[in-house]
Structures are given as structure tokens and as C-alpha cells.
Structure 1
Amino acid sequence: MLRNYKDLENIDDFQFLQKKQNYWYLCKENEADWEKYAFVEDINFFLLQHTQFSKINESKIINLNFLIDSSKYNLEKLFFNNIVSKKYLPSIKLAYQILINKKNDAEVSEINPQISEKKKIKFNNIEVENIKFIVRTGKTTDIYFKDNSISYVYETLTTFEEKLLHSSKFIRISRGCIINIEHISFFRINTKKRFAELRIGIHPFKVSRRLISSFKSKANNITS
């Protein structure tokens, strides 16, 4: 009798899940593996636990870790080969980008630990392409960069919005915060309760209810 996936030691050994007879089965190399290893009864709970897995069509879920280091496959090739359904392409692109961001955050943290000291910077000298997020704190606005350095200016977030209007990467998620969506390492939206949260590296954020729709729309096109 097949085991439940919760009894497995390492989920990342499996390349994909295949749907058979109303259950999802973990496979390592091909679809014939579905009777060898373990099954998943509650697929939604599984996907919440293991964000490296993403649905590509109604009967298949892939482990995105196997795409990151693969020279044979990428998301666009999978789409054009009709392996990824058009319906799931935005969500799998976002999941793929989030997974890469997690890996990049871990590498940056090893090389350059979090820097707590903030340095003043001239507004015109800010390198926009290196910004991860911007937060209004009291009378100053703090800018967090890719290298984990932090600078501050006295300009308001509205001034930043005017500076960033040309970019599709940045979006205001609350009264006091603008983020670069390309650096999201986790996000969750509950549409019914109009609740949204995300993380960039170790930093958690909540999305204002009135901005959830615009955030979701922009996040879904993160790699377009």
C-alpha cells in the first residue's frame, strides 16, 4: 500500500505529481512512477507547505527546483510545447521567480549579512534598479537595496512614486511602503477575506485592502 507523502523524508527528490483516480501521486522520473512512492490527498494543503511545487495543468504539478538548473527545460519552452496550460502560466512564473528570489536572498545573506546602519543619500543618486523596497519611517524614507545596505532621504513616498512611474517593477502596497515585485520571496492572497501578505527576504509586509487588486494584477505579470 502506498504511503502518505507526510511519511517521506525528502519531498525535493520528486520531480512532479501526477493526478490519477482523484489523487495526486509523487513521481521521480516519469508518469509510470505514480504507483511506486506516495500519494497526496489534500493537494491544496500540500501546495501551501511546499511552494517549490506549482500546477502546470489539470493533471500535473512540477517541482520548480528541477527547472532552475536545467538547460533542457524552461518555462517558455514548456508553454510553447503545450505542457503548461495558458491558465496556469502567470502563477507558475510567479512561483518560479519567488523560488529564485529565496535562493538569491540566501546567497546574499551569506556574503553580506544584514546591515543595520542607515546612511543618508542624495535623492538623485539613488540607483532605482537596485531597490528592493522603500518604507516611510517618521520624517524619513528608508531605501533597502539588493546588497542589504540601507539609505534614507527626507523625500516622501509620493516623490518616489513620481520617480518610479516608468517602471513596471514597483508598486505601492500601503500608505507607507513601495516594493519591487521582482524581489518577493513569499506572498499569499485570500481573496474572500481580502487579506494579503508578502515577504522580501526576512522582511514581512501586509498589503492594504484597497490595493490588493492592483498588487495581484501586477504580481501575476512579474516575469512578463
Structure 2
Amino acid sequence: LAAPEVLVPPPLAEVNKFLSRMVKALVECCRSFVRWMDGTCIETPPQFVSEDEDPVVFSFFSDLERSPDVARLTLTVTRAIEKTFGRVNKQLDQYRRYDQLWKVDKAQHLSKFEQRNPTTVMFDSRLQSFSKAVQDARAMPHELEVDFMAISVGSLLRDIQEHAKAWVVAITKLMNTMCRQELMDLHELIGEFSANLDRNPDTLDDLKFILNMVAEIGGRSMEM
């Protein structure tokens, strides 16, 4: 499996064709088991009907081809293969939900996001989402086993992590650009608050001033 499209190489349709040929070959191989001549252990030689036609070989193929048991087993195997492919596709859905990591244009998406004048909470929400994608992909097993099929997903998981990390980097750069001046102003404000809170409440007015300052800090915290 690999990005940008979550597909199985070779495609499941090709695998299905190959397995169908294998199932058919199990019966076809009986052509190699030539019948013996009556009352002997000698193989029946090919019978030439005409020069324009292939020789007729008496084997056990015709018996097995008409056998109800063989037909039933062939159908059972075919249905089992189809069910396995259905389960594989369902398992792939857990990886397809990450395809927006590489399908969405970062520049265009972040430009629209910037126009919304996002808050710190909005930035944090997106950073948490992409960081979780990295953690989830890192925790997933690198091999997916579904019935008789084993699918390697290591390269896909690495791609998911790299794309998610790229989103984190892009968002943090945007956040830094938008919030740098605000952070500088906030740092200055925190210094001012800290200096005011360090005042000794020697008088009632000093105590009121400090309490008002605490209330103002609490109000600003709610706004942030």
C-alpha cells in the first residue's frame, strides 16, 4: 500500500484473476494423469483422430471436470476468495480516512484558515488532530493479515506520518507569523502584571489594586 491513493499493488482484480487461474489449474493439471490401458499398467497412448486435430489423450481430467464434488469445492474456494477481498477493502478504509492529508492543498487551505482570523484554540485543535494522526499511524502494525492474504502497509504508514508532520509544520509556521506580535505584546503584558502583583499590600488601597489586578488577569484568561 502507498499514497497518494490507498491501493493494493498489484490490484485486487489482478490478484483475483491469478487465483482464479490457479483454481482452474488444479483441475487442469489432471490432464497429466493419463489413464492406463485396460488390464495393464501401461499409459494409453495419444489417439490421433486426424492430422488437422490435436491428439486425444485419455486422462482423469474429464472425470474430475464433471464431478459435482469438484464443482462444489471450486465454487466454495471462489466465494471464499471474494469474501476475503471484501474484508481487505473494509480494512483499507482505516487508511483511506487519512487521504485528505495529501489530497488537500495546504497553501489554499491555510489561506482560507488565516482569513477566519483563527484563535489559539482553533490552532490547537488542528495541531492536536494532525499530531494524533502521527501517533495513530506510528502505533499501527506494519503488516495487515486478512485470511490468507498478508498486506504490507509500512510504507503507507510512513507516508501518513510524514504528511501529517508536514501539516503540523505548516500550521505552526502560520501561527508563528500571525501570533508573533501578539505574543510579544502578551509577554510585555505578563511582565506588567507580574510587577503589579509583586507589590506589597501595605494598605487597603494596595490590596484592592492587587485584587482588581487578579480579576483582570482572570478576565483576560477567559478571553484567550
More strand by share: 1
TM-score exceeds 0.5: no
With structure 1 as the length reference, what TM-score do the two structures score? 0.22
Relative to its length, the structure with more helix (as a share) is 2
User: Which structure carries more relative contact order (alpha carbon 8 Å, separation 6+)?
Assistant: 2
